[in-house]
Amino acid sequence: MPQTLDTVVIATRNPGKVAELRDLLADAGVEVVGIDDVCPNTPEPDEGTVSFEANAAIKARAYAAATGLPCLADDSGLEVDALAGAPGVISSHYAWDGQTSGEPATLTRAQRDARNIERLLADLADVPPEQRTARFVCVMVLAAGDDILATARGTFEGRIGQPPHVPRGTHGFGYDPIFLVAPHHERTSAELTPDEKNAHSHRGEAARHMLGYLRLLRTSR
């Protein structure tokens, strides 16, 4: 028998993401719960390095199996054209070439972000502004049991700035302080308010598509 979509588990331990998605999905009449609310001891599944879609599907299926509830997972990262799409799926551990084992265990999230930014700026040191085009990508996958019910993708276009003009801005996380938002490339995404970023970002776009799929799926069940 198909599961109802009255409650959806968000496959993240990041309370900020749960709150953000709870707001975005409220309009679909879905109750959104964090993985820690239903299954606090669920181990994190190993992600691969193939694609955002594959990683999000791995997480969504693993948590759907662990909780017995429909589960929504996201995977995201930064693609830089001059680096053939890198850092891509290894965005969160780019400074260590994607090797989580190479990262010192004592690093805070902010320190890890700073090391990734330093590495990316060094890799792009000789690349002129017009060739520094990049985009954030977010893929969300909704799974029930082993079935993938929906996949949604969002992108956020920009350019990687050059020192000493970047890093700058205090909002956001990750590569935001060096990402100059298209089309004007005047502000970094760390200089956008959270509402401005949500309105334009890869995660906001993917969430809005997913909201549409959830509404459709709920009316067809």
Active site positions, annotated? 75
Out of 4, 14, 100, 111, the only residue in the binding site for ligand ITT (CB under 6 A) is: 14
Alpha carbon distance 87, 106 (integer Å): 23
Site for ligand ITT in 52-81 (CB under 6 A): 75-78
Interface with ligand ITT, residue 204, by CB under 6 A: no
Contact 198, 176 (CB under 8 A): no
Please state the closest distance from residue 115 (CB atom) to ligand ITT, in A.
Answer: 11
- Please provide residue 183's backbone torsions phi and psi, each rounded to the nearest 5 degrees: -90, -10
Alpha carbon distance 182, 157 (integer Å): 6
* Beta-carbon-side half-sphere exposure of residue 7 (alpha carbons within 13 Å): 10
List the structure tokens of 107: 């690093």
Interface with ligand ITT, residue 12, by CB under 6 A: yes
Interface with ligand ITT, residue 205, by CB under 6 A: no
Q: Measured from the CB atom, is 12 or 67 closer to ligand ITT?
A: 12
Site for ligand ITT in 82-111 (CB under 6 A): 91-92
Please classify residue 141 by burial: count the beta carbons closer than 10 Å to its beta carbon, then call 0-12 exposed, 13-18 middle and 19+ buried: buried
Q: Measured from the CB atom, is 4 or 155 closer to ligand ITT?
A: 155
- C-alpha 55, offset from chain centre: 11
Please state the closest distance from residue 5 (CB atom) to ligand ITT, in A.
Answer: 22
- C-alpha 22, offset from chain centre: 16
Please state the closest distance from residue 6 (CB atom) to ligand ITT, in A.
Answer: 24
Site for ligand ITT in 160-189 (CB under 6 A): 172-176
Alpha carbon distance 176, 174 (integer Å): 6
Q: Measured from the CB atom, is 77 or 167 closer to ligand ITT?
A: 77
Please report, as ranges, the residues that interact with ligand ITT according to CB under 6 A.
12, 14, 17, 75-78, 91-92, 116, 136, 172-176, 201
